[in-house]
Amino acid sequence: MLRYMTAGESHGPALVAILEGMPSNLPVTAADINTELRRRMGGYGRGGRMKIEQDEVQILGGIRHGKTLGSPIALVIQNRDWENWKTVMAPEAEAAQGEPDRPPMTRPRPGHADLIGGLKYDHLDLRNVLERASARETAARVAVGAVGKCLLRQFGIQVVSHVVEMGGIRAKTEGLSAAEIVSLAETSPVRCADPDATQAILAKVDEARSRGTSLGGVFEVLVVDPPVGLGSYVHWDHRLDGRLAQALMSIQAIKGVEIGLGFETARRFGFEVQDEIFYQPPGQEATEGEGFHRRTNFGGGLEGGMTTGQPIVLRAAMKPLSTQYKPLASVDILTKEASKAGVERSDITAVPAAGVVGEAVVAFVIAQALCEKFGADSLAEMQRNHAGYVAYLKTR
Ligand code: EPS
């Protein structure tokens, strides 16, 4: 089974990921991964940290001469900021004497993992929690997802994203193709495909900054050209919709996930939300699709926990980041006195970056489902199995 783990603290020496179960002979280069890492670092509204970091992957195992070996893939991303935190974050016991200018963090931020993590893991310095709870960890997930994208590319599957809403400002993208959305979003400073909405969002980010607060939003992830029948209806943990929702929900600060029409389906009649089924014999001049096909995609490319072959459409809602430059009420965990929450350096918003992270976690889940369906010892074996399946589908 394709699986991965990450380790590393936000201001520790590095982030580490181990990805296991990728087929052998898959072309993967550091450049494939670095492209995605760089996309994640962008977006208007990021804080000072992104001026320090220049995320680049080091491949420590599992790839030789540009191809996967089938063995675990070990990836490392150094934290440049580590230079400024060497004593505070040192693994050595002697360093615990601390630095006078960086006292323990004892005033938990509402909405962050600080308080509950401190209680649960018995920490009096909440830095022990926030360092790992930080969304810095998503750099490692993006590296893993980039390898997943390399696999998907071999099967003609693309995973893209764009910001559809920020601070209550909604993008208008009706009538645009996925390709148009992507090219517009990639040139927008907030990764939004609507130029008017982009301008309004930039102003809203500035307003949030000047008011000492943060801004949330919604991003959409699209999986273009997935094969029919990834995932399964037979068991709860095989259902691909559930697995994709979990992956997106696990991204820091995500509070809601929708698939296709999502919550809107609940407001409509039944006949308004199902994607009717049509058939056109293969080989005949295809006007709107060969074989079984649909004219709508309300279901977001998923039926019964399986891919329909239409684009998979997922949206995730990110709350405004919990660090507030104008801090909210909190309590000092040592003195128990009412106190303003601690202020850690942070971003005003990270919704544009979260979209890139969304692509990565979705790419991983789709890659995992692809490996399950087509076997995953070698790329050639997967391609043979995939070709056989495609040929079989043409007979139906
Ligand atoms: C983060 C706080 C900020 C962000 C960070 C996530 O970091 P710092 O405290 O070092 O300024 O920049 O995001 C990243 C470092 C990143 O690579 O995305 C947090 O508290 O979650």
Question: Quick one: 3-260+299-394 is in which CATH superfamily?
Answer: Chorismate synthase AroC (3.60.150.10)
SS3 64: strand
Average pLDDT rounded to a whole number, residues 351-361:
98
Q: What pLDDT, in 10s, does the model give residues 217-265?
A: 999 999 999 999 999 999 999 999 999 999 999 999 999 999 999 999 9
Cα angle, residue 312 at apex, residues 311 and 314 outer, rounded to 5°: 135
Q: Ligand 1, from 51, 136, 251: best to mutate by most atoms within 8 Å of Cβ?
A: 136
Burial group, residue 392, by CB count within 10 angstroms (0-12, 13-18, 19+): exposed
- Residue 14 Cα to ligand 1 middle (Å): 13
Q: What's the mean pLDDT in 349-364?
A: 98
Tallying the residues shown for the chain, one arrives at 396
Q: What is the DSSP string of 273-339?
A: TS--EEEE-TTS--SS-SEEEES--TTTTEETTEE-SSPEEEEEEEPPPS--SSPPEEE-TTT--EE
Question: What atom of ligand 1 comes closest to residue 11's alpha carbon?
Answer: 10
Name the residue of 346, 348, 349 to mutate for ligand 1: max ligand atoms within 8 A of Cβ.
346
- In this prediction, residue 98 carries a pLDDT of 59
206, 328 in Cβ contact below 8 A? no
Question: Which atom of ligand 1 lies nearest, measured to the CA of 130?
Answer: 20
Atom of ligand 1 nearest to the CA of 53: 17
If you average pLDDT over residues 123-137, what whole number do you get? 97
Instruction: Note the pTM of the prediction, 2 decimals.
Output: 0.97
Mean pLDDT of 278-306: 89
* 141-188 pLDDT, tens digit each: 999 999 999 999 999 999 999 999 999 999 999 999 999 999 999 999
**How many percent of the chain have pLDDT more than 90?**
93
Instruction: Tally DSSP H helices, then E strands, for the chain.
Output: 10, 17
What's the pLDDT at 193? 98
Q: What's the whole-number average pLDDT of the chain?
A: 96
pLDDT at 286 over 70: no
Instruction: State which of 38, 52, 80, 134 you would mutate to test the pocket of ligand 1, scoring each by most atoms of that ligand within 8 A of its C-beta.
Output: 134
29-67: per-residue pLDDT in tens?
999 999 999 999 999 999 999 999 999 999 999 999 999
CA of 136 to the centre of ligand 1 (A): 5
